[in-house]
Every structure is written in structure tokens, then in C-alpha cells.
Structure 1
Amino acid sequence: MNKLVINKENLLQNVQKIKEHAQINLPDDNGNQVKIIVVVKSNAYGLDLKQYVQFMVNQGFDFFAVSTVQEAIEFRKQGFTQQLLMLSSTGIKEEIKNLIENNVIITIGSKETVNQVCEISKEMPEKKIKAHVKIDTGFGRYGFVYENREEMIEALKKLQDNKNIEIQGTFTHFSNAYYDEKYTRLQFKRFIDCIEVLKMNNIETGMLHVCNSSAFIKFPEMHLNAVRVGSAFVGKLAFQNNMGLKKVARLESQVTEIKEVPKGFNIGYSNAYKTNKKTKVAIIPCGYINGVDVQVGRDMFRPVDKFRYIIRDIKDALKKQGHNVNINGQICEILGRIGTFHVTVDITGKDIKVGDKATFEVNTTLVNSNVERVYE
């Protein structure tokens, strides 16, 4: 049976390193410390929401964040009562009401959302609505556009005048913190400029936070009052870090069949691979439905992106071996195309038998939800 194994020791080490890094510039003059908001979107990055959140609660975390209404409701269904921030703004009345009814901190990023929230506050006068304001500093998704300051001020004054609505924080999101330092600093400046304008207009900004995992590591001077950390906890970063963060999960399966095939034998769909000698192969019931060699979609809008992917593909093509799997500590090459549920592996000359453990490195967010998650 396939399972995604989460190494609790590695996860705990990552937690400790991240806690230390969060306090690198603090406490400040007022004795405040940076708040870590634990992002648990996409089923806690594929690690199972219930088990992952409970692990984090046991480490002292009490503030979490998700990206969708469905994730927020599931968080509450699992029985967790900790602070929960919905990172995306929505102007859909039913969604806002659902979030408020489940004691979720909403994000407000447009005048349409402001109008809906004010209307809901009249319908639910017994509810104290908690909110964070999002400013779009150049990402092009949720949030008030940083240049439209008059619209932002007018909308937020309307919120502030409503005694049932409490603005607890203000934030933005960086678009390319892992690669583009210049643009990240520009976004940060835009955010700080907006905050100063809001304060000049006597608008409460609450907790300020801009850093995702990449910015949290690369730009400690931008930590402000809080940071949003998700992928760093699981050791999944877009760049090499110097913090020693470890990958925390591996996909495990077993060898279910072994056989020898002759020279010139086709392996896998489309006859994409043909053996060049008599070959001993193992069959493992783990394919792309389990996340094996599955990649997220490529962004091909800019020529530089196309060039980057071409270079990466050329490097992969020139490698002596293709995709590998670890079977009992022995690195074995996957032959042919990866199937939906199976892979065929070259084990020629290796001491491998049916039942031996096979381990894959995978993107945990892409592992099928039917695969069991085991913390050990």
C-alpha cells in the first residue's frame, strides 16, 4: 500500500529554525515579537490538514491561514478553534457570511467586499466581524490597488465607522520574492507608503505582514509584525536556503513484481523505451496519480521563462539517468513513461525482491488525497 510518510523529527527541526529566524531582529523597542501565521492551504501542502495542524498546535502555534472558503470550513470542521485568516478577498455575500459564521478572519480587498461586509453587519448585529485589509502592490490578484488611495481610504473609513467591524491587520503579497529582489523591495516600499497614508488619515491598520516563506528567509528586515510561513515548514522552497531546512515527506510503496525482459523489449505506453540488453525489472504500483514526477504548470508568458525551461529540459535530457526511485537504499532508474498507477524500474545487478520498500521524492501537494498520510 502506498503512503506519504511525514518525518516528525525533520518537521520539528524546521519549526525550531523558523521560530529562531522569526526573532532575528526582535524584540523591538516595545518588546514585541514577530507573529508566525502558519499557512495550511492545499490540505496543509498535502500533509493532511488535521494531523498537520494538530502537530503545529502542539508546537505552540495559534494563528493559521488558508486560501479558500472550503479550506476555512474544513479547518473548523476538524474542531480547531485557533485564529484563522482567509487570505483571499471575496465579494460574494454567501461566502462572506459563511466565513463570519465560522469565526474566520476575512480579508477585504475591494469596495465591493466592503459594501457586502457592511450590509452583513446589519443582518448579523450580534457578530463582531474581524478582518484584515489586503493591498495589491503589484501582483494583480486580490486587494486594493496601491495607486487608488482615495478609493481605499474612502472604503476603509466606511469600515472603521462600523462598530461591528474590527480591522485587525493589513497585508500584501509578493509576486517573486525568491528571484526578483528589486521588485520585491519596490512592492515593500509601495506597501509602507500606503500604510503611512492610511495612518495619516487616522485609519487603523492593525498587524502588518508582507512576508511569505521566501521573503521571510531572504528579507528579515521585512518581517514587520507578522510573517506568513507555509512551504518553508515542509522544506519546499524555490531557492537554496542557508537555514538547513529539511524536506519532511517521502512517498513510500513496495515492489510487487519482478521479471526479466529480453533485449529490444518495449517498456511502458507509446513504446517510448526499448531495452538495449536483457534487463531485470521491478514493478511498483505508484504512478503520476500518486505525484510521481508530476509538476505544476509552467508559466510561459515571458521569453525568459521559455528560455529557462528549455535550459532545464536540456540539462535533464543530458543526464546519464532519468527519473529514479530508492529501493532499500539502492538508486534505480525508472524506465519508459510513468503510468497512472505504476512504474517499471531497472534493477539489473541489484539485490531486490518482491516486498522491498520503494521511496520517491514528490511534490506533496500533488499526491492523491486517497494516499494515506502517516506521521512518524
Structure 2
Amino acid sequence: MQQSVADLYHRSAAVVDLSCITHNLNEVRRKVPGRKIIAMIKANAYGHGLTRVGAHLAAEGVDYLGTAFVEEALELRKAGITIPIITSGPFSKFQIGLFIENQIDFTVASVDALHLISESAAFYKKRVNVHLKIDTGMMRIGIRHSNADQLFAAALKVEKQVNVVSIFSHFANADSEDLSFARLQLERFLEAAHFYDKHNLPKPLLQIANSAAILRMPESLLDMVRPGIMLYGYHPSQCCKAEAKLLPALSLRAKAMYFKVILEDSTVGYGRTWTASENCRAVTLPIGYGDGYSRGLSNKGQVLLRGKRYPVVGTVCMDQIVVCISDGEAYNGEEVILIGRQGEETITADEIAGQLGTISYEVLTGISQRVPRIFIDKKRGQNNGI
């Protein structure tokens, strides 16, 4: 007999349903027929678990995995994942050998970086894959779009050492109601890429579409796309929600570990920020801001117990929170939902983000490493912890 998920952990857990990620990937494919897919799994796969999610997406046939930094890519290689990986962030010259030895693609944002890579490639006697980053208005990394021909020309001079797989840029606000700036960015990007047509050269693959653009800007899909947050079941913003049916893959759970009655006029927690207006029952959960449940949810957050919503009372501690269940009932060891569904009620990362004045990305990636990830596949009936 298969164990229930609640039997797989003792204190708290982030439970990831891989079948939801498969569903969301299929929604991407429905929106981008024929395009190559770079599945973004940076920041511990948006909090969902880097290597297990990476292996799952590789098995589902994505063309690339995308990380921010080489350290993440190395974890994937150590886990036996062999499909192409691109890192989108900056790197140190001392890390270049790690890229080459582990067949990890570079993002190149400057002529100087390109020269360092080509010199190292010559030393290793290898031709390495790179993706040239063009800044069309994000102002993070990337050569300015008006100067992009300098980077393209430099890459041609070292083509024996460097294979330019793609050129790409990143939208600043494709998740906004007003898409005028995003369209300007796309125009700048395509104008820069026209370098190859002007010089009658084979053009690298073009990529600029993130989750928001996949959902709202079909003209931006080009050759490759980079879905991130939508793979995990969340829309980048409200104005994207009508464009795809996504299934949140992660639920955050904890077990009630202590039950008590709080007497009228008693205060709860650090700073005594909540006072009981009457006698009430309460449970303590072994999860706190050290696990990624934000202190900003003090006296704001809600949880689900037996399918009902109950408030978090007092200040969120590093390791524990207190939940007032009024005259409700609970037993030690009973499962409580902080993100996810129980009965007819659902608490989403979007709801929590709204309470905190942030976005679902931060809520999900903030779930700390000390919270074990448990992987299930409801379609296949599989439960596996890490």
C-alpha cells in the first residue's frame, strides 16, 4: 500500500507534483509550436528542486535547461543530466574552464568576455557554444543594441573557437497591460539581428520571449523561447491569466506539533503583537521565516486546516508560527496547508505575494533548503522524497 504524502515528512515539506509541470510544459508547447524550448530552472527551479525538476524536464524533451549561474549547471551535470544547459548570468574568468569541461553554454555580454572565452577554448582545443546577449532596454547585462554589431563581428573573428548558437535579449515589462515598450524592445532586437542579413551570413537562432511574451506576444516567439514561472503553474501577472490554464505544482505543508488554549487577554509571540479577545484554541506549526515563510505574514497570513481557513497570529518566528483555530479541532501531527489546496479552499503563492507586496516568484524561490522537497506524480501515482 502506497504511503500518503503526510507520511513522508516529519515537520514541513514542499510537495511538488511533477504532473503539473508536465501539464504546464504542454501549455507552453501549445502556445509555441515548432519553437525550441529553454526551460528555466534557476534559483532551485523557482524553489521546486533543481535536479529533480531538471531531470523531469529533460525526460519531457525540452531542448535546453536554463540556469542563472554555472554552480547551478554543475549540480545538474553531477546529477547525470546531459542535455544542453545555458547559464544566463555573469561569470568570473576563473570559472571559464568549468563551463568548457562540463559542456555548459556561455552567455556572452561583451567583446572582452568573448575574447577570454575564445582564448580558453583554444587552450582546451575545443569549440564552445555561446549565446550573445543584447540589451534592448533592461539595463542589466548585454551589449547595447546600437553597438551589437561590434559583438557579432568579434564573434565571427573567433568562430574557430566559438559557435554562436543564439542571440537573445530580455523583456523588461512584457507582463504589463501596456506592451508598447516591449514592442520597442523587440524592434530593437530584430534591427540588431539584421546584421547577419546585411552581411549575407547564416543567422544564429533568435530568442527573446519569456513566460509573459509566450502568453501575450506571438510576434516575439522567433526560434527559441524561455518559459520560467509558467512552468511552475503561475502567470507572470493578472493580465496574462486568460491566455493559458496553468496548474500550480508546489504545495507548502507543515504538521501541527502543539495544541493549546490561549486565554482571553493573553498575548502571542515576540513583541506581543496579538492579543486574544476571548479564550481560543491554537496550534503551533514548526515552520517560520527560516524556512521561507515570511515574517511579513505576521498577523496577516492564513493556513488551511481540515479544509478551513485560520489566521496566523502573533509574529512569525524563525522556526514556528501560531495559528488561532477559534473553537475548531486539531490533533498533533495533523497536516496544515500554507500554500496549496485542501478541501474546497486554496491559498496560492499569488495570494501570499499580494499580502507581502511582492510577486509569486519571490514567495516560491524563498522557500529555504531546510524544507525538504517531496516529489509526486499524481498521474502516475508516484510519491518520492529527497
**Category of TM-score, reference length = shorter chain:** 0.7 to 0.9
1:222-249 Cα shifts (integer Å, max 9, x gaps): 1000100111110133313121112110
Q: Give the Cα–Cα distance (whole angstroms) in 2 for the partners of residues 94 and 205 of structure 1.
A: 30
Instruction: Tell me the equivalent position of 1:6.
Output: 16
Amino acid at match of 2:294: D
Match of 2:231, SS?
A: coil
Matches within 5 A, 1:314-333: 322-333=300-311
Q: Give the Cα–Cα distance (whole angstroms) in 2 for the partners of residues 56 and 17 of structure 1.
A: 14
1:351 CA displacement: 2.5
Using a 3 Å threshold, how does the CA distance of structure 1 residues 200 and 40 change in structure 2: closer, same or farther? same
1:265-321 Cα shifts (integer Å, max 9, x gaps): 1111111111111121111111112222368xxxxxxxxxxxxxxxxxxxx99xxx8
Matches within 5 A, 1:26-105: 33-90=34-91, 92-105=92-105
Mark the runs of 5 or more structure 2 residues left unpaired by the alignment. Answer: 1-10, 340-348, 350-362, 377-386
TM normalised by structure 1 equals 0.86
2:225 corresponds to which of 219, 224, 227: 227
1:189-212 Cα shifts (integer Å, max 9, x gaps): 000000112431345441111011
Q: Please tell me whether the aligned partners of residues 136 and 144 of structure 1 are also in contact (alpha carbons under 8 angstroms).
A: yes
Match of 2:140, SS?
A: coil
Instruction: Tell me the equivalent position of 1:21.
Output: 31
1:150 CA displacement: 4.9
1:332 CA displacement: 0.7
1:174 corresponds to which of 166, 171, 176: 171
Mark the runs of 5 or more structure 1 residues left unpaired by the alignment. Answer: 24-32, 296-315
Q: Please tell me whether the aligned partners of residues 258 and 285 of structure 2 are also in contact (alpha carbons under 8 angstroms).
A: yes
Q: Please tell me whether the aligned partners of residues 14 and 253 of structure 2 are also in contact (alpha carbons under 8 angstroms).
A: yes
Instruction: Tell me the equivalent position of 2:273.
Output: 272
Match of 1:44, SS?
A: helix
Q: Please tell me whether the aligned partners of residues 100 and 106 of structure 1 are also in contact (alpha carbons under 8 angstroms).
A: no
1:349 CA displacement: 1.8
Instruction: Tell me the equivalent position of 1:120.
Output: 120
1:29-52 Cα shifts (integer Å, max 9, x gaps): xxxx11111111011111111211
Q: Please tell me whether the aligned partners of residues 64 and 85 of structure 2 are also in contact (alpha carbons under 8 angstroms).
A: yes
Instruction: Tell me the equivalent position of 1:196.
Output: 194
1:87-141 Cα shifts (integer Å, max 9, x gaps): 1244x3222221111101111110111211221132122x121111111111111
Match of 1:289, SS?
A: helix
Q: Give the Cα–Cα distance (whole angstroms) in 1 for the partners of residues 254 and 152 of structure 2.
A: 56
Q: Give the Cα–Cα distance (whole angstroms) in 1 for the partners of residues 83 and 160 of structure 2.
A: 23
Q: Give the Cα–Cα distance (whole angstroms) in 2 for the partners of residues 153 and 367 of structure 1.
A: 40
Amino acid at match of 1:176: N
Amino acid at match of 2:337: T
Instruction: Tell me the equivalent position of 1:152.
Output: 151
Q: Give the Cα–Cα distance (whole angstroms) in 2 for the partners of residues 94 and 199 of structure 1.
A: 35
Q: Please tell me whether the aligned partners of residues 137 and 172 of structure 2 are also in contact (alpha carbons under 8 angstroms).
A: yes
Residues matched between the structures, number = 340
Q: Please tell me whether the aligned partners of residues 279 and 348 of structure 1 are also in contact (alpha carbons under 8 angstroms).
A: yes
Using a 3 Å threshold, how does the CA distance of structure 1 residues 187 and 49 change in structure 2: closer, same or farther? same
Using a 3 Å threshold, how does the CA distance of structure 1 residues 371 and 42 change in structure 2: closer, same or farther? same
TM normalised by structure 2 equals 0.83
Match of 1:61, SS?
A: coil
Q: Which moved more, 1:204-213 or 1:8-17?
A: 8-17
1:334 corresponds to which of 304, 312, 325: 312
Q: Please tell me whether the aligned partners of residues 167 and 205 of structure 1 are also in contact (alpha carbons under 8 angstroms).
A: no
Percent of pairs identical after alignment?
25
Using a 3 Å threshold, how does the CA distance of structure 1 residues 133 and 292 change in structure 2: closer, same or farther? same
Q: Give the Cα–Cα distance (whole angstroms) in 2 for the partners of residues 201 and 100 of structure 1.
A: 30
Q: Please tell me whether the aligned partners of residues 58 and 81 of structure 2 are also in contact (alpha carbons under 8 angstroms).
A: no
Aligned Cα root-mean-square deviation (Å):
1.9
Using a 3 Å threshold, how does the CA distance of structure 1 residues 121 and 60 change in structure 2: closer, same or farther? closer
Q: Please tell me whether the aligned partners of residues 273 and 336 of structure 1 are also in contact (alpha carbons under 8 angstroms).
A: yes
1:19 CA displacement: 1.5
Q: Give the Cα–Cα distance (whole angstroms) in 2 for the partners of residues 324 and 111 of structure 1.
A: 51
Q: Give the Cα–Cα distance (whole angstroms) in 1 for the partners of residues 336 and 313 of structure 2.
A: 15
Using a 3 Å threshold, how does the CA distance of structure 1 residues 343 and 184 change in structure 2: closer, same or farther? same
1:149 CA displacement: 4.1
Match of 1:229, SS?
A: coil
Match of 2:259, SS?
A: strand
Instruction: Tell me the equivalent position of 2:321.
Output: 343
Using a 3 Å threshold, how does the CA distance of structure 1 residues 294 and 56 change in structure 2: closer, same or farther? farther
1:322 CA displacement: 2.7
1:328 CA displacement: 2.2
1:129 aligns with 2:128: yes
Amino acid at match of 2:373: R
Q: Give the Cα–Cα distance (whole angstroms) in 1 for the partners of residues 295 and 35 of structure 2.
A: 36
